[in-house]
């Protein structure tokens, strides 16, 4: 949907409310208080509010959602959702403030609530071909920080990723993606909770951290990045071995960080 068509369709609070009611109550209006179906009537003087004939309670279509209790018009919420969902680089609270015409505090609140709505907490386990990667976020600490023991401006420890945070990423090829900040690059434990291990094939680089958990999968195939072998064909299974899907996710993730915090 283009920005122009979105604005045309959801330009008013009433249009957004009607759309939300149609989505939530396809089988009839459901009371948020007692769960009765088809027993509520809209108040003529306050059209946002429904009154249930069974329990006499009042409720709104936003009850039970991150928008519950909001004083903002729904078209402001809808526009915030649209902007955050369609931006490939993320949207900062400062940008939301300017685009929505609200205070910074309100924009910050909206951003967090919308991200809460966009998160798919009910997503099932990853299955099929699962690509794993571990991007690093952040950079060298500023001079004088606690982890800068010699005052040189360089991290006080060595190794892959240095002082940067590690984000473990697993992507179902052609499907879902999951990401989690982990203590170090050697922590591939989230794969155990995220994946249908016995029915899936793991694809990763040659990092030793994947060896143990890789044996739990139906297959474990590697692309040796150290030898610049970024893709190959596994002739026995007839599939391409690479982590390009996970790396594409990482690229979008890093662009979002730049878009929001830089």
Per-residue pLDDT tens for 227-250? 777 788 888 888 888 988 998 888
205 domain-assigned: yes
Query: What tens digit of pLDDT does each residue of 129-180 get?
Result: 999 988 877 655 555 544 444 444 444 444 454 567 788 899 999 888 888 8
Instruction: Calculate mean pLDDT across residues 118-127.
Output: 74
105 and 139 fall within a common domain: no
Instruction: Give the per-residue pLDDT at 120.
Output: 66
Q: What is the mean pLDDT of the chain?
A: 84
> Each residue of 42-98: pLDDT tens digit?
999 999 999 999 999 999 999 999 999 999 999 999 999 999 988 877 788 999 999
Based on the domain organization, do 191 and 226 belong to the same domain?
yes
DSSP notation for 127-195: -SEEEEE--EE--PPPTT-TT-TTSSSS-SS-STTTTSEEEEEEEETTS-EEEEEESSTT--THHHHHB
Domain limits for position 103 = 3-118
Band of pLDDT at residue 205, cut at 50, 70 and 90: confident
Please check whether residue 129 is in contact with residue 239, taking contact to mean a CB–CB distance below 8 angstroms.
yes
What is the pLDDT, as a whole number, of residue 201?
92
**Count of structural domains, the chain:** 2
Q: In the predicted model, is pLDDT for residue 195 greater than 70? A: yes
Asked if 136 and 257 sit in the same domain, the reply is yes
Looking at the structure, tell me whether residues 155 and 66 fall in a common domain: no
Strand-pair category, 129-133 with 201-204: parallel
Among 118, 151, 186, residue at a domain's last position: 118
Asked, for residue 124, whether it belongs to a domain, the answer is no
Give me the pLDDT at residue 89, please: 74
Alpha-carbon span 242 to 229, nearest angstrom: 9
Residues 176, 236, single domain; the answer is: yes
Do residue 69 and residue 133 come from a single domain?
no
For residue 123, is it within any domain? no
Residue 218 domain-assigned?
A: yes
Task: Examine the domain organization and report whether 152 and 101 are in the same domain.
Answer: no
Q: Is residue 86 part of a domain?
A: yes
Between 187 and 135, the higher pLDDT residue? 135
pLDDT at 119 over 50: yes
Residues 148 and 234 in one domain: yes
Q: In terms of pLDDT, which residue wins out, 222 or 99?
A: 99
167 within some domain: yes
User: What's residue 59's pLDDT?
Assistant: 97
- 74/148 same-domain check: no
Q: Are residues 86 and 199 in the same domain?
A: no
250 and 135, same structural domain?
yes
**Domain end position, chosen among 118, 152, 168:** 118
Burial class (CB within 10 angstroms; exposed 0-12, middle 13-18, buried 19+) of 245: buried
- Structural domain ending residue among the three candidates 118, 145, 178: 118
Residue 100 in any domain: the answer is yes
49 vs 216, residue with greater confidence: 49
Average pLDDT over residues 182-194: 72
96 and 163 inside one domain = no
């Amino acid at each position: 949907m283009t920005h122009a068509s979105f604005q045309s369709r959801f330009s008013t609070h009433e249009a957004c409310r009607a759309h939300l009611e149609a989505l939530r109550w396809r089988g009839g209006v459901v009371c948020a208080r007692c769960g009765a179906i088809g027993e509520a009537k809209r108040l003529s003087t306050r059209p946002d509010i429904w009154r249930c004939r069974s329990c006499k309670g009042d409720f709104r279509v936003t009850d039970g959602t991150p928008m519950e209790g909001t004083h903002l018009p729904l078209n402001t919420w809808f526009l915030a959702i649209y902007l955050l969902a369609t931006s490939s680089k993320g949207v900062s609270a400062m940008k939301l403030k300017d685009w929505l015409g609200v205070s910074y505090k309100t924009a910050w609140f909206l951003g967090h609530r919308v991200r809460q709505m966009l998160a798919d907490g009910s997503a099932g386990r990853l299955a099929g071909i699962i690509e794993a990667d571990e991007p690093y976020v952040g950079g060298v600490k500023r001079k004088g920080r606690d982890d800068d023991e010699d005052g040189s401006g360089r991290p006080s420890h060595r190794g892959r990723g240095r002082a940067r945070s590690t984000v473990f990423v697993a992507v179902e090829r052609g499907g879902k993606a999951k990401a989690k900040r982990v203590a170090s690059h050697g922590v591939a434990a989230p794969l155990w909770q995220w994946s249908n291990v016995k029915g899936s094939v793991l694809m990763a680089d040659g990092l030793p951290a994947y060896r143990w958990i890789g044996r739990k999968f139906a297959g474990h195939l590697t692309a040796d990045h150290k030898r610049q072998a970024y893709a190959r064909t596994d002739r026995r299974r007839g599939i391409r071995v690479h982590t390009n899907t996970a790396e594409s996710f990482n690229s979008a993730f890093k662009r979002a960080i730049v878009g929001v915090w830089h």
